[in-house]
Chains A and B, each alone.
Chain A
């Protein structure tokens, strides 16, 4: 069952993936948190993601880069089944979370999303709730009543999101009273409170100024000690700064996946090189 933590699976060797360059020693040696196998996605008749196979290492930051409309946001939504909120979407292939198939018929998408949290492009604290309520709402609406437990998680989550010191005296204030960068960290705290294993970030800094962006990037470095992080970004410098691994998507296909240092210094594919050097995208 998806509610219990399963032992780490064996690293599966399947090197029959067409576009992926042969081995990346560092990636192979790490345990894999999320394994996408031949994932294709459609919006109606339009194919947005085309046969992507990718192993995302645990407790590391994986950046997904690519030009607009390449399917990166769509693809990470397959990792916590958020795409199902959009009518007429379809997924083929499998996604394993610690070896368990997220798309088995007996899996509740709500449980999947508790284990694979998400932070969105635009910060979206709930406007009817205070800062404190925003953080613990995930626990509360998932049935946690114990006041002490909630308070502990409130502080712990805000500390992990590097927001505690800024808001500890204003927990009763509205979440929308915070600045943009603080709101985004509040949303990260909210996602952390339900104790996910993986955190998906969909361009979390694209609406923030450079200082707020730097804080979030710093936070990501702290968070990867405990969580597997997948970040979609438009900003290649950001991908270079924060990520350990980088995947380059183009027209819905995975062009290249590997250690960030390798992708940025010695890409194996011409298209990756062209994109990274700014020749298109």
Chain B
């Protein structure tokens, strides 16, 4: 009899425990999602009013004049991302291939460690480094400097994802190719990298989404520009920079435009993430 009741007690206690833990995890999930929802909601609410055709097609107006847009900043961000890709993608992908396919265990350990440290370096440090290396030397802020700063941030990100997806390619494909007498580098380029290409592209897109929103490394490299950039050796506008400048200004009209810029930026990053989802979903299906 006592045995029975005790077992029943333990049972209800266990049920309570289970409810408590699932309640806690549910709350944590809400805490994670809530800020995202709030930020997105607030950005849409405050920004949507200033998003119009002018915003995408016009240059900023002088202080006090209402209207104008951020066309130069939108194009500037795309130009900076293109410049960053020129550095970040080849170095990152080739480095990842080296880590996964060549390299001795010891060298790889060191490289991986360095890449992980670099991934943790605050982005403003990259701005300072490029400022010292490029801006001071050429005595000018420039699109090149901004692109270089963003590209350097991309390198370790792409390198690590590339390495990981290449290591996921089954060894049997390498074996099969090498058993056909195909040279090692051709096996890597045409079989291994091709098999991993979706994962590599996913890594590149995520890296682009990440640096597309970076402000700090651009503050003293790309610097910002209220006009069109006609020469990549000159300062260039970027969406995050423009948002930063407008947000800390004392003008209501600029605040509205800053919100609109934030909305465009968030939407862009969101779109890239959706693209990534599509890529990874296709990947999960039998190819």
Q: Is A118 an interface residue (CB 8 A)?
A: yes
Contact segment of A16-24, A63-71, A134-142: A134-142
Q: Is B226 an interface residue (CB 8 A)?
A: no
Report B178 CB to chain A, min CB distance, Å: 6
Chain A residues within 8 Å of B178, by CB: 82, 85, 110, 113
Q: Which residue of A lies closest to B186 (CB)?
A: A141
List which A106-123 residues lie within 8 A (CB) of chain B. 110-115, 117-118, 120, 122
Report B191 CB to chain A, min CB distance, Å: 6
Q: Is B12 an interface residue (CB 8 A)?
A: no
Q: Is A264 an interface residue (CB 8 A)?
A: no
List which B135-176 residues lie within 8 A (CB) of chain A. 170, 172-176
Counting chain A CB atoms within 10 Å of each CB, the highest count among B179, B187, B287 belongs to B179
CA distance A113 to B182 in the complex (A): 8
How many interface residues does chain B have, given as a range?
Answer: 20 to 34
Q: Is A187 an interface residue (CB 8 A)?
A: yes
Chain A residues within 8 Å of B174, by CB: 85
B183, A120: Cβ atoms under 8 Å? no
Q: Is A42 an interface residue (CB 8 A)?
A: no
A85, B175: Cβ atoms under 8 Å? yes
A124, B181: Cβ atoms under 8 Å? no
Report B199 CB to chain A, min CB distance, Å: 12
A124, B170: Cβ atoms under 8 Å? yes
List which B90-106 residues lie within 8 A (CB) of chain A. none
A138, B172: Cβ atoms under 8 Å? no
Q: Interface 1/0s, chain B 181-194, versus A by CB < 8 A?
A: 11100110011001
Partner of B179, one of A111, A117, A142: A117
Report A79 CB to chain B, min CB distance, Å: 11
Chain A residues within 8 Å of B176, by CB: 120, 124, 126, 187, 190
Q: Interface 1/0s, chain A 171-192, versus B by CB < 8 A?
A: 0001011000000000100110
Chain B residues within 8 Å of A187, by CB: 176
Q: Is B273 an interface residue (CB 8 A)?
A: no
A124, B172: Cβ atoms under 8 Å? yes
CA distance A112 to B178 in the complex (A): 10
Q: Is B250 an interface residue (CB 8 A)?
A: no
B175, A124: Cβ atoms under 8 Å? yes
Chain B residues within 8 Å of A190, by CB: 176, 180
Q: Interface 1/0s, chain A 145-186, versus B by CB < 8 A?
A: 000000000000000000000000000001011000000000
Q: Which residue of B lies closest to A118 (CB)?
A: B179
Q: Is B119 an interface residue (CB 8 A)?
A: no
CA distance A138 to B194 in the complex (A): 16
A176, B287: Cβ atoms under 8 Å? yes
Q: Is B64 an interface residue (CB 8 A)?
A: no
Q: Is B195 an interface residue (CB 8 A)?
A: yes
A127, B190: Cβ atoms under 8 Å? no
Q: Which residue of A lies closest to B170 (CB)?
A: A124
Q: Which residue of B lies closest to A84 (CB)?
A: B178
Counting chain A CB atoms within 10 Å of each CB, the highest count among B176, B177, B194 belongs to B176
Chain B residues within 8 Å of A177, by CB: 286
Partner of B181, one of A120, A126, A174, A194: A194
A141, B190: Cβ atoms under 8 Å? yes
Partner of A80, one of B179, B197, B286: B179
Partner of B195, one of A82, A126, A137: A126
Chain B residues within 8 Å of A4, by CB: none
A110, B179: Cβ atoms under 8 Å? no
B287, A142: Cβ atoms under 8 Å? no
A127, B195: Cβ atoms under 8 Å? yes
In the complex, 26 of the A-B residue pairs with CB atoms within 8 angstroms, ordered by the A residue number, are A80-B179, A82-B179, A85-B174, A85-B175, A85-B178, A110-B178, A110-B183, A112-B181, A113-B180, A113-B181, A117-B180, A120-B172, A126-B191, A128-B197, A128-B287, A137-B177, A137-B180, A137-B190, A138-B182, A141-B177, A141-B183, A141-B190, A174-B287, A177-B286, A191-B179, A191-B180
Listed in ascending order, the chain B residues whose CB lies under 8 Å from chain A are 170, 172-183, 186-187, 190-191, 194-195, 197, 286-287
Listed in ascending order, the chain A residues whose CB lies under 8 Å from chain B are 80, 82, 85, 110-115, 117-118, 120, 122, 124, 126-128, 137-138, 141-142, 174, 176-177, 187, 190-191, 194
Supply 17 further A-B pairs (C-beta < 8 A) apart from A110-B178, A118-B179, A141-B187: A82-B175, A82-B179, A85-B178, A110-B183, A114-B181, A115-B181, A117-B179, A120-B179, A122-B172, A124-B175, A126-B191, A127-B173, A137-B190, A141-B182, A141-B190, A174-B287, A191-B179
